[in-house]
Structure 1
């Protein structure tokens, strides 16, 4: 055998080995792709989740007194504050699902210097469940510059008037946005103060499932607005299964890429394409309206099944909904747009035609100039509960708050027939 023929055989051997390697890699990649398309589980599953209570497990009925045991400023600008709450009766606290929220009945009489002033608001729990305290983290909402709208009543009340030792009236934890039982890899996506329920999920996993893969994308303008950044970095440094991506849309001159943040820009599907391995991730998303309105449709267009997209939005974004399954459409079908539906507000003496573009009954009432007290705008607090004089409604989602018979929650329902409301 000549040296030339030996060289040819060596090259052929290398080519065969390279071909086998590429073939096996392609086959594995193809199998992963098929699992994603068909909704099949991962080939390798971690141990099943433990320590999660049932969504319907009982907490307590009505409101319960809690004492503020500690408050901590979480950001350099002093705009985000955490409140640690302990039960005034000293009794044990029920656990909750990471991602759920608390509902507060706030007495603003002294703070606002007027007559009786009570409002109801909901705030996400921002830590893993503990046996002796609950934690919420609230961002102060200032008055919009150049606008007639006032500053946020509840957030400013917490920041200015709720000190250590204060007593608050609290409903039991609730909410449908929470980390589901299982061990599938997750992508946590937050914008601004939307980080709070996702912190609860992250911290729970660190305690109960430290091996579970977590990809955490957090979007904010720059380091000046960042809260809990040290906690996120510590979590990523302590567990190889936690991968952190800080995205600054408007970094400060002193913010350095690679040191203070990982991506210059907003959180989006293009970033997911670059950073995420091909796996059947579940996406948990909480952030401001612009993020939700952009990201949710983009994930659907990317091919992520609705069953793997979980989100919570606040205010105007709370009406966002993904494409419903056929069964859900049949159960919560909107009225035929061709059929005009008249909604009458008895106390206000107003009557108007509702259409599918009118949004929820709360949106519709506000558009007609009908004043309705509201809180969470997501079916959680019960503030907008209104008596139905005649007619029927359909719920866009199952509310967390259980309305009384003969009433409805305007923020999450639409008219099913001609409707008269006591509002």
Structure 2
């Protein structure tokens, strides 16, 4: 909790800081990488830096954390912090790096706001930063204690081309390690220029399988750096190769218990849903589950047959699919519809909407639309959870 004096100062200056936060984070990253190029080369996602998404996400998380401190004293934004901590742990972020970030972030604040940053203002926002940093350090320390810090190696025992743009890789880690359905691992690759870039990929099978499967969509673009790791994996990795991977992390996991579930995905966002369904099938679950998936076309729908088979193996599950391009052969299929996902008419699992827990994964517009439809139907906002690939722009837009 902020000290009373700092809370008053943060509340008074929050509009100014929030109004300049995008410029501040841009200056922060520019100076950080100018002095520490190894961080951009070997830790930060160069694609997200190039398209500006990481700057927007950082700005959003700082503003959201500060707002929570002054509007809800004594209550930290736990979901946001957990998501950030899991991502940091999957990257191998260290406690010492928080001091480095502090140096360059507050240098950027001073450069952008100038004399407006009085000693009192600087001290108040310093308190905000270290409260957030120490909370994350504590969460990450626990994650490292549970999973182990450092990279492990895994052998690719099978490669399968799923669609024109998607490949699945079955990995066997040197050190056997379980995971929770819905979690992801980081994959670190050394690119031709010597950079060691890291990306996260959901584990798309059940922990009961033993081996880990990741499903990688090739990010297309005319030389866009955001596709450099997925392109490398597609072009170079074959059965028998060894990859450097992290332990499993991620907080969007299959909710425990036997309550009703709604699992909604779009595009490659189906991967954590497959892991959850595969686990339910492997354990003989009879939970009531509604599965929703949206895609461009059946041909683009990765693991389409597998998704249908897993739902069919669960006595309490139903499947609803939407395709923007619906072929005539599927026009009479009651489980398939044309256009974008519309949950207004489907039967929700459970006796009451408030009983449902929903897990969403896919593009941000899809998840926002699904969440709005669920809340409108009576599903509590606290019961809707989501996972994003890359920077969390949902926080930034909140």
TM-score range, shorter chain: 0.5 to 0.7
Residue in structure 2 matched with residue 125 of structure 1 by the alignment:
203
Distance between the aligned counterparts of 1:131 and 1:265, measured in 2?
35
Q: Deviations over 1:303-356 (max 9, x none)?
A: 32123111112246x2325xxxxxxxxxxxxxxxxxxxxxxxxxxxxxxxxxxx
**What is the distance in 2 between the residues matched to 1:130 and 1:224?**
29
Matched, 1:308 2:383: yes
Choose the corresponding residue for 2:294, options 219, 222, 226.
219
Is 1:142–1:150's contact at 8 Å kept on the other side of the alignment? no
Change (3 A) 1:186 1:119: same
User: For residues 254 and 268 of structure 1, what CA distance do their matches in structure 2 show?
Assistant: 21
Segments of 5+ residues of structure 2 without an aligned counterpart are 1-141
User: Is 1:102 aligned with 2:190?
Assistant: no
- Corresponding residue SS for 1:197: helix
1:172 deviation in Å? 0.4
Aligned equivalent of 2:235, options 160, 170, 176: 160
User: How much has 1:201 moved relative to structure 2?
Assistant: 0.4
Which is higher, the Rg of structure 1 or of structure 2? Answer: 1
State the distance in 1 between where 2:289 and 2:181 align: 14
- 1:155-304 equivalence runs, <5 A: 155-258=230-333, 262-272=336-346, 278-279=351-352, 280-304=355-379
C-alpha offsets along residues 31-66 of structure 1, whole Å, 9 cap, x if unaligned?
xxxxxxxxxxxxxxxxxxxxxxx9887233200111
Q: TM-score, normalised by structure 2?
A: 0.59
**Other-structure match for 2:40:** none
More strand by share: 1
> What is the aligned partner in structure 2 of residue 82 from structure 1?
168
Could you tell me how far 1:289 is from its partner in structure 2? 1.8
- 1:208 CA drift (Å): 1.8
Aligned-partner SS, 1:240: coil
Contact preservation (8 Å) 2:288, 2:350: no
1:180-232 superposed Cα distances (whole Å, 9 cap, x missing partner): 21110111100010000010000111112421111111111221112211112
Q: Which range moved further: 262-271 or 116-125? A: 262-271
Question: 2: distance between equivalents of 1:210 and 1:277?
Answer: 15
User: Which of 213, 216, 220 is matched with 1:142 structurally?
Assistant: 220
Distance 1:205 1:232 in 2: 12
Determine helix, strand or coil for the equivalent of 1:206: helix
Tell me how far apart the structure 2 counterparts of residues 230 and 178 of structure 1 sit (CA, whole Å): 23
SS of structure 1 residue aligned to 2:312: helix
CA shift, 1:277, in A, is: 6.1
Q: Distance in 1 between matches of 2:259 and 2:170?
A: 31
1:309-328 superposed matches below 5 A: 309-315=384-390, 318-321=392-395
For structure 1, the residue ranges without an aligned partner over 5 or more in a row are: 1-53, 322-358, 361-395, 397-423
Describe the SS at the equivalent of 1:152: helix
Aligned to 2:68: none
Rounded Cα–Cα distance in structure 1 between residues aligned with 2:371 and 2:144 = 27
Could you say which residue in structure 1 is the equivalent of 2:84?
Answer: none
- Contact 1:68-1:83 at 8 Å conserved across structures: yes
Query: What displacement does 1:150 show?
Result: 5.0
Q: Determine the C-alpha separation between the residues in 2 that align with 1:108 and 1:231.
A: 33
Secondary structure of 1:136's counterpart equals strand
Q: SS state of the match for residue 299, structure 1?
A: helix
- Secondary structure of residue in 2 paired with 1:235: helix
Q: What per-residue deviation string (whole Å, max 9, x for no partner) do you get for residues 61-110 of structure 1?
A: 200111111111223xx22111011123xx4x22111000001221112x
- Count of aligned pairs between the two proteins: 255
Q: SS of 2:292's equivalent?
A: strand
Pairwise CA distance, 1:254: 4.1
- Which protein has the bigger helix share? 2
* Alignment root-mean-square deviation, CA: 2.5
**Secondary structure of 1:269's partner?**
coil
Q: Distance in 1 between matches of 2:220 and 2:387?
A: 22
